[in-house]
Amino acid sequence: MKNPSLKNKRVLLGVSGGIAAYKSVELVRRLKDSGASVSVVMTEAARRFVTPLTFEAVSRSKVHSSLFDEPLVHIALPSEADLLIVAPATANTIGKFSNGIADDLLSACFLSCAGKTLIAPAMNWRMYENPAVRENLARLASRGVLQVGPEPGSLACGEEGPGRMAEVQEIIEAARAALADKDLRGERVVVTAGPTREYLDPVRFLSNRSSGKMGYALARAARDRGAGVTLISGPTALPRPSGMDFVAVEDSAGMLEAVQREVSQGATVLIMAAAVADYAPAERSAGKREKSRDLSLELKAAPDIISTVAKASRRPFIIGFAAETGGNTGRAAEKMKKKGMDMIVFNDVTEPGAGFDTDTNKVVILDGNRETHVGLMPKYDTAHAILDRLFEMKT
């Protein structure tokens, strides 16, 4: 499986002096939980926020801070690492990196690092918006340095704005993405996710239990493998993923329109993970429906997005989903043929840990040639298993 993993990877973590340094303690724990080994380099300023002992306890290895502790430590540490993560990366550290200054161990490690570097900036929003910082970040990006965050939100100084260090989970995902094989580079993947809302009137709608988690995981996994991604999402409670185009829609008609636009603009793969309504109210009242009205509701068939796209002359590779109750894959195989899909992901929603609103899934991938059984795992990993099969079929 091409699923990018941190297992057995060697991470060098640089911690510079911001209050977000305390979150990096958790980052070390999570990196270790993922199977990575972690060495930590702290700047002098970072040591004022968190003691080296804390990082030593969680990383189970000696923390380095000085260029002069051991000979050539600034060369040895990066050369042994698969990935250098700098979290938090303060404005000062970013400035040094951008300008090639190497006056402490961390900045010297950055300069001597030939591998991948991921920075997680954290600072007050005024500093983050300062043109000097912006230019430094842009220069680092143009040299291939990867960045995760910062996020908007409340800052340690009591103000609101962009400058919060990315959440630990985001940094872990960015680290996995940094090490991922970019086998989907050149593909333009459109993913639909979440439920649709079919309105009866301005305040009421028919919808379903889809959380959008599987679709969002697919979009993130495709992005991490180098694809250009557009995520078309019905209403969900999930944070908007970075590094992709995002289109918010509400009803099946809106979703169809957004999908068709992407297809006409050259999408190469369509992944329909959305739980699109099969039926919609026959009419949408402009005003609120009266209580006194007839209690039965007249429905019409919602537009079938997959069938519509499958009939187009320049059609993408189409992956659909089948949410079934029961283990028989026969119905899903028929659905794949009937709707003109190239692959269908069968999902028994009655299985524990699979289906609606869970963080895990257990699926069977059907594609005319083969049935691939994918055991219970986090949805991000299920997503990679689906993309692995897509990659095999497209090459």
Residues that bind ligand CTP (CB under 6 A): 252, 272, 274, 276, 278, 302, 304-306, 320-323, 335
The residue among 179 and 322 lying less far from ligand CTP, judged by its C-beta, is 322
Reduced to 3 states (helix: H, G, I; strand: E, B; else coil), residue 70 is: coil
Q: Which residues pair with 272 in a beta bridge?
A: 192, 320
CB of 308 to ligand CTP, least distance (A): 8
Reduced to 3 states (helix: H, G, I; strand: E, B; else coil), residue 188 is: strand
CB of 276 to ligand CTP, least distance (A): 4
Question: d(Cα 330, Cα 342) in Å, to the nearest integer?
Answer: 16
The residue among 146 and 248 lying less far from ligand CTP, judged by its C-beta, is 248
Quick check: 386 and 223 in contact, CB under 8 A?
no
Residue that the structure tokens 């990066």 belong to = 78
Two structure tokens written together for 377:
């795992």
* End-to-end CA separation in angstroms for the chain: 16
The residue among 4 and 212 lying less far from ligand CTP, judged by its C-beta, is 212
Question: d(Cα 149, Cα 165) in Å, to the nearest integer?
Answer: 6
The residue among 267 and 322 lying less far from ligand CTP, judged by its C-beta, is 322
Q: Which of 179, 40, 41, 64 is nearest to 115 (CA)?
A: 179
The residue among 52 and 303 lying less far from ligand CTP, judged by its C-beta, is 303
CB of 228 to ligand CTP, least distance (A): 21
CB of 259 to ligand CTP, least distance (A): 8
Quick check: 305 and 192 in contact, CB under 8 A?
yes
The residue among 86 and 193 lying less far from ligand CTP, judged by its C-beta, is 193
CB of 309 to ligand CTP, least distance (A): 8
Q: How many Cα atoms within 13 Å fall on the side-chain side of residue 382?
A: 28
For 93, 103, 295, 385, 387, the CA distances from 117, given in Å and listed in that order, are 13, 19, 62, 27, 26
CB of 348 to ligand CTP, least distance (A): 11
CB of 73 to ligand CTP, least distance (A): 54
Catalytic residue among 1, 132, 141, 157: 157
Is residue 157 annotated as part of the catalytic site, yes or no?
A: yes
The strand pair at 10-15 and 83-89 is best described as parallel
| Full DSSP string of 147-185 | E---EEEE-TTS-EEEEEPPPHHHHHHHHHHHHS--TTT
Burial class (CB in 10 A: 0-12, 13-18, 19+), 111: middle
DSSP state of 103: -
The residue among 166 and 309 lying less far from ligand CTP, judged by its C-beta, is 309
Catalytic residues: 157
